[in-house]
Amino acid sequence: MSDLLRLATAGSVDDGKSTLVGRLLYDTKSVLADTLDAVHRASADRGLTTPDLSLLVDGLRSEREQGITIDVAYRYFATPKRSFVLADTPGHVQYTRNTVTGASTAQLAVLLVDARKGVIEQTRRHAAVLALLGVPRLVLAVNKIDLVDFDEVTFSRISKEFTAHATALGYTEDAVVQIPVSALAGDNVVEKSANTPWYSGPTLLEHLETVPVEPDPHDAPFRFPVQYVIRPRTAEHLDYRGYAGLVAAGTVKPGDEVVVLPSGRRSTVTKIDTADGELAEAAAGQSVTLLLADDIDISRGDLISVAGNEPTVTDELDATLCWLAEKPLRPGARVLVKHGTRTVQAMVTELRDRFDEQNLSSVDGPASLELNEIGRVALRLAEPVPLDDYSFSRRTGSFLVIDASDGSTLAAGLVGAPLPLLENGVESCSGGSAATPDNHALVSPGP
């Protein structure tokens, strides 16, 4: 079992995400005394009789003033069973880009709903974002169950409605677990609640401690974006020329035949170097330096791939964008695309469709893509780039869309059409053609 789980919260504003995170930290005794004292003091100053546990995570002044979360807070805690990296994200629609930030590396999301309100617009928007990014597992936490008198019928109704929605987004029933909780009082968060005798499932923590985490698939084809060329030029290492990077997918061994893209030149790996010595093999997630048999021109931005199962090298692609900027995207827009370690100029030649995440349908040929909207576009790149489908390889199928004038990040880009409902006939740029890609985006996460 994996010793680490990366999770993110999601759900509408005030559904209780930060309180739930505070409760998890508090009940697992992960809060140190001085931090807790500060929360007790601040709660008392606000006239509260019990500590407001959301203050453990809402760390910015304006968050505390407004009582909402604005940006992601990262918290780290551990139980004897597992370590957790927790991203508490904002529910407010204005800050959806921060929710996307927190979810982009998550292996599981805890999506909250307020038991009084049930599944609402923002719940559906976040569920779509999580499905799009390929967060493999969901927990639906039906929160504030204390405010509906711990009513089983309410819980079942919300669970059913949400699960149907998640299934339509591509989640299997196994991938979604529903838990009735009160973040405020702690019911079913760490301790089993006496108020919900009708619920026989795990507490939230029990589930987080035992849920399977998909490891990086070892049989994925090797992908290695070159970050930096290491050339010491010292007497000791006169001819050393190493290609530094992080293995994005698959594994590599000395002797492996590789192709450098986009040039297409072939060579053989002679050595996998690190500061701790040579390695016999390196796998996804490891930072290493590769040495090759041939003296070929390789620089930052190139991608070293296993020979025989290569990404598609193309200057035209279909992609899905989650638009994160205030100013809308219109056809013809000139942007920068950062893919792996390469940044290229690009033009959005067409807006194919916009995903209506409320009704799970798509709208063809929209005039623009507005803040927080998800849509499929066609892009033309200034130079050919090696691309995998996002649903095939998260690290080599994702990219940033950047504003060339002010450098801001405009969108999260995913090669292909990771949302099943968006696949209405148009062929996507299919990477890794030789291997069978997952037919769905719910793959293991990137970093």
Q: Which is nearer to another protein, 67 or 285 (CB)?
A: 285
Pairing of strands 282-283, 287-292: unpaired
Q: Is the peptide bond prior to 366 cis by the omega test (within 30 degrees of 0)? A: no
Which position among 6, 7, 15, 17 is part of the footprint of Mg ion (CB under 5 A)?
17
Q: Which is nearer to ligand GTP, 59 or 285 (CB)?
A: 59
Q: Does 19 bind ligand GTP (CB under 6 A)?
A: yes
DSSP alpha helix (H) spans, 115-223: 121-133, 152-168, 204-210
Return the amino acid letter for 284: A
Residues 257-296 that bind another protein (CB under 8 A): 273-276, 279-281, 283, 285-287, 289
Stretch that binds Mg ion, among 13-21, 241-249, 331-339, 412-420 (CB under 5 A): 13-21
CB of 142 to ligand GTP, least distance (A): 10
Q: Which residue, 172 or 274, has its beta carbon nearer to another protein? A: 274
Does 86 engage in binding with ligand GTP (CB under 6 A)? no
Q: Which is nearer to Mg ion, 30 or 314 (CB)?
A: 30
> 280 is in the binding site of which of another protein, ligand GTP, Mg ion, none (Cβ under 5 to 8 A by kind)?
another protein
> Contacts with ligand GTP: how many residues (CB under 6 A)?
21
The DSSP bridge pattern shows strands 137-143 and 108-114 to be parallel
Residue list 39-68, contact with ligand GTP (CB under 6 A): 54, 68
Identify the helix (H) or strand (E) that includes residue 66: helix 61-66
Contact segment (CB under 6 A) with ligand GTP among 78-86, 141-149, 343-351, 397-405 equals: 141-149
Looking at the Cβ atoms of 147 and 246, the one nearer to ligand GTP is 147
Q: Does 394 bind another protein (CB under 8 A)?
A: yes
Asked if residue 223 lies in contact with residue 305, where contact means CB atoms within 8 angstroms, the answer is yes
H or E element in which residue 439 lies: none
Under rule CB under 6 A, residue 90 binds ligand GTP: yes
Burial code (b: 16+ CB inside 10 Å, e: under 16) for 208-225 equals bbebebeebeeebbbbbb
Minimal distance, residue 274 CB to ligand GTP, in Å: 41
Which one, of 256, 342, 252, 338, lies nearest residue 302 by Cα? Answer: 342
CB 127 to ligand GTP: min, Å: 15
Of the candidates 308, 310, 306, the residue with the CA atom closest to the CA atom of residue 256: 306
Backbone phi and psi for residue 102, each to the nearest 5 degrees, phi listed first: -65, -35
- Phi first, then psi, for residue 375 (nearest 5°) are -155, 165
Which residue from 119, 139, 131 is spatially nearest to 15, judged by alpha carbons?
A: 119
CA 274 to chain centre: 28
- Looking at the Cβ atoms of 38 and 48, the one nearer to another protein is 38
CB 177 within 8 A of CB 138: yes
Q: State the Cα–Cα distance between residues 383 and 262, nearest whole angstrom.
A: 9
Contacts of 33 (CB under 8 A, 6+ apart): none
Report 57-96 residues binding Mg ion (CB under 5 A).
69
Total binding residues for another protein by CB under 8 A? 79
CB atoms within 10 A of CB 269: 22
Helix (H), strand (E) at residue 18: helix 17-27
Region 208-227 residues binding another protein, contact defined as CB under 8 A: 215, 218, 227
| Nearest-approach distance from CB 327 to ligand GTP, in angstroms | 24
Q: Does 143 bind ligand GTP (CB under 6 A)?
A: yes
Site for ligand GTP contains 103 (CB under 6 A): no
- Residue of the chain from 184, 324, 402, 429 that contacts ligand GTP (CB under 6 A): 184
Among 18, 143, 154, 372, binds Mg ion (CB under 5 A): 18
Q: Cβ(216)–Cβ(227) under 8 Å?
A: no
Q: Which of the choices Mg ion, ligand GTP, another protein, none does residue 14 contact, using the CB cut-off of 5 to 8 A by kind?
A: ligand GTP
Q: Sign of the C-alpha dihedral, residues 37, 38, 42, 43?
A: negative
Q: Which of 6, 10, 18, 216 binds ligand GTP (CB under 6 A)?
A: 18
Instruction: Give the binding site for ligand GTP (CB under 6 A).
Output: 11, 13-19, 54, 68-69, 90-92, 143-144, 146-147, 182-184
Instruction: Give the binding site for Mg ion (CB under 5 A).
Output: 17-18, 69
